[in-house]
A and B are shown apart, each in its own frame.
Chain A
């Protein structure tokens, strides 16, 4: 559940605020709350996760109650309510991917990164977790990395090692 993290001053960049403005314009007058999910995605893309301070600021921007943001952020699986690695590797763990070896890929990630599911590596670069079906069942095993949710398909242990190396050197 939602944990209130240490409050740190949160500031949104002017570019982010501009994006908010573009999003809000899509909806009929008075229906700007529809912008909440896309705005939370943009906020997370900039800050890496959603602290309660960040969520309060979003509530202020949309002129809605703080709780309306918390309840949404905690309902949907894509929003991170605690800090993550710079690269969050999300592996599909659902049936069809498991038929073609997703569990081995998760074991391998745990070994190569040296952290358990949900934890962050000491250098702050990586965290990983199993997620439910990513609608790419024919190309399994698959993993995705936000905030652009780039897809890596037909994974092997070798491909995972190469990916980790590439990201380390980025």
Chain B
């Protein structure tokens, strides 16, 4: 069993209530931070922990915090990014539903560290049930004296509010999120200035993912050095992985970073293998934006060593043979899935979600969707395949925010690894509509019985 730092008590009945949460040691980190540490000491612990942003970019959280400008007399804000919209990712929903106080506790300690007296949790609007859950948890915390004026008699004041989004993937990008929180369209801002200098209402602001903020709780309870002992190398701590697609047991899992990918997919402790006795064809390891990998490269690096669930190992080999940790949205495709169809589906998503500010993204995502649609529906030409690569290259790196890259990578990687399947769609248009290309040479012959799950 790997260590659990976030979900240790997830199965305790009533853990969503303040009472039970406190019986299990909840809100200790608030007492410790506010009564025995200075804000700078809290930041220092988070730096020592090596915690990296859990929303997708993987930027060190402590370093992000230390960039926050602190001009005299200007308010500072902490905004939690709970706009979870990356296809394949549903860990934040899980955490907020079942153990909302973990987020509230993390928000209090983090706000204290940053000197924020008003903080917001920006939750995607579709998560109305989770918004209600958080509002109830905030009310409980307030009644217990953990929010409001003079918290625990320390003189520290904090108001915490939940803000609903309106349904837009782009608002997961931090500057688009801030625009949205100001009551505007979610158009990303040109950086610099970064939010640490001019964020919400033009004031210094930190935006962190739900899981990053929840991870501050064990970091403060046990110390940053203890946290850094968990995991592997620069991938410290635990990570919530959202597992979906054709798996025996999809769901949210807390893993210690460094777990072999093969064990995560096939071990009964985790996903339990591929559903319906099928074989694995491909995976998207970190949410729809990261490159898709065929099964053989998912399980092993190009040099044959096992691939691990860590920031470094997943990106080993660059985009030629690797992918990214991203937000931890792990999507498994079985042998019956069509890569062309899925790539078209993802392209439609990015076209729909492009905010329209930058022409390469606004126009390029539309063209990619159109070309992929005709390939999937039997009207494609061989030249379409290189056309897609060309369009994706003209989007990548040419936009204000990373949505452009996120739209380009799935297409480029699908063609990189599965070009023969695209070509088959052109050569056999009728057949491609009736049947699937299958496993081809994408998977290694891995029989479930041969997998060792050594704990």
> Contact mask B280-305 → A, CB, 8 Å, 1/0?
00001000100000000000000000
Question: How near does chain B come to A9, taking the closest CB pair, in angstroms?
Answer: 26
- Assess whether A133 is in contact with B242, with CB atoms less than 8 Å apart: no
Asked if A138 contacts B251 (CB within 8 A), the reply is: yes
Q: Does A136 contact B (CB under 8 A)?
A: yes
Are the C-beta atoms of B125 and A135 separated by less than 8 Å? no
Q: Is A95 located at the chain interface by the 8 A CB criterion?
A: yes
With a cutoff of 8 Å between Cβ atoms, the chain A residues found around residue B161 in the complex are 26
Known pairs A31-B182, A75-B185; A149 contacts B245 (CB<8 A): no
Q: Tell me if A75 and B186 are in contact (CB < 8 A).
A: yes
Pair B242/A138 contact, Cβ less than 8 Å: yes
Whether the pair B181, A134 counts as a contact (CB closer than 8 A) is no
A99–B288 Cα distance when bound, in Å, is 13
A41 at the interface (CB under 8 A from B): yes
Contacts A77-B166, A132-B352 given; indicate if A28 touches B182 (C-beta within 8 A). Answer: no
A38 contacts which of B88, B163, B245, B251 (Cβ < 8 Å)?
A: B163
- Most B CB atoms within 10 A — which of A31, A93, A94, A150? A94
User: A99 near B164 (CB under 8 angstroms)?
Assistant: no
B346 at the interface (CB under 8 A from A): yes
Encoded as 1 (CB less than 8 Å from any B CB) or 0, chain A from 2 to 37 comes to 000000000000000000000000101001011111
Report how far A139 CA is from B249 CA in the complex, Å: 10
Check if A135 sits within 8 Å of B127, measured CB to CB: yes
How long is the Cα–Cα vector from A101 to B252 in the complex, in angstroms?
20
A34/B127 in contact, CB under 8 A: no
Cβ–Cβ contact B163 & A34, under 8 A: yes
Q: Which of A72-105 contact B (CB under 8 A)?
A: 72, 75-79, 93-96, 98-100
**Category for how many chain B residues contact A:** 35 or more
Q: A137 at interface (Cβ–Cβ under 8 A)?
A: yes
Q: Which of A135-159 contact B (CB under 8 A)?
A: 135-140, 144, 146-151
User: How many residues on A have C-beta within 8 angstroms of the other chain's C-beta atoms?
Assistant: 43
Which residues of A are found within 8 Å of B88, using beta-carbon distances?
95-96, 133, 137
Roughly how many angstroms separate A72 CA and B164 CA in the complex, as a whole number?
Answer: 14
Q: Mark B225-267, 1 if CB is under 8 A from A, else 0.
A: 0000000000000000011111000111000000000000000
Q: Does B422 contact A (CB under 8 A)?
A: no
C-alpha spacing A147/B346, complex, angstroms: 27
Identify B166's interface contact among A75, A99, A131, A148, CB under 8 A.
A75
Residue A40 at the chain B interface, CB threshold 8 Å: yes
Query: Cα distance A147–B132 when bound, in Å?
Result: 13
Contact residue among B166, B169, B250, B288 (Cβ-Cβ distance under 8 Å from A78): B166
A138, B243: Cβ atoms closer than 8 Å: yes
Considering only CB atoms, which chain A residue lies closest to B249 in the complex?
A138
Most chain-A CB neighbours within 10 Å: which of B125, B182, B333? B125
Flag if A78 contacts B167 (CB, 8 Å).
yes
The answer to the question of B191 belonging to the interface, with a C-beta cut-off of 8 Å to chain A, is no
A71 at the interface (CB under 8 A from B): yes
Which listed residue, A71, A78, A132, A144, touches B353 by the CB 8 Å rule? Answer: A132
Contact of A96 among B118, B186, B244 (CB under 8 A): B244
Q: Does A136 lie within 8 Å of B184, measured CB to CB?
A: no
Q: How far is the CA of A133 from the CA of B93 in the complex (A)?
A: 13
CB interface residues, B 157-196, toward A, < 8 Å: 159, 161, 163-169, 180-186
Which chain A positions have C-beta within 8 A of B169? 132-133
Asked whether B279 is an interface residue with its Cβ less than 8 Å from the other chain, the reply is: no
Residues on A facing B (Cβ under 8 Å): 26, 28, 31, 33-38, 40-41, 68, 71-72, 75-79, 93-96, 98-100, 131-140, 144, 146-151
> A-B pairs with the 10 shortest C-beta distances?
A76-B166, A78-B167, A137-B244, A36-B183, A33-B183, A77-B167, A138-B250, A149-B128, A133-B87, A75-B185
Between-chain CB contacts (< 8 Å), 10 pairs: A26-B161, A34-B163, A38-B163, A41-B166, A72-B183, A76-B166, A77-B166, A100-B246, A140-B244, A149-B129
List chain B positions with a Cβ less than 8 A from chain A: 75, 84-90, 92-93, 118, 124-129, 159, 161, 163-169, 180-186, 201, 242-246, 250-252, 284, 288, 329, 331, 333-334, 337, 341-342, 345-346, 349, 352-353, 355
9 extra interchain contacts, Cβ-Cβ under 8 A, other than A72-B183, A98-B342?
A: A37-B164, A76-B186, A94-B87, A94-B346, A95-B349, A133-B86, A135-B90, A136-B90, A137-B89
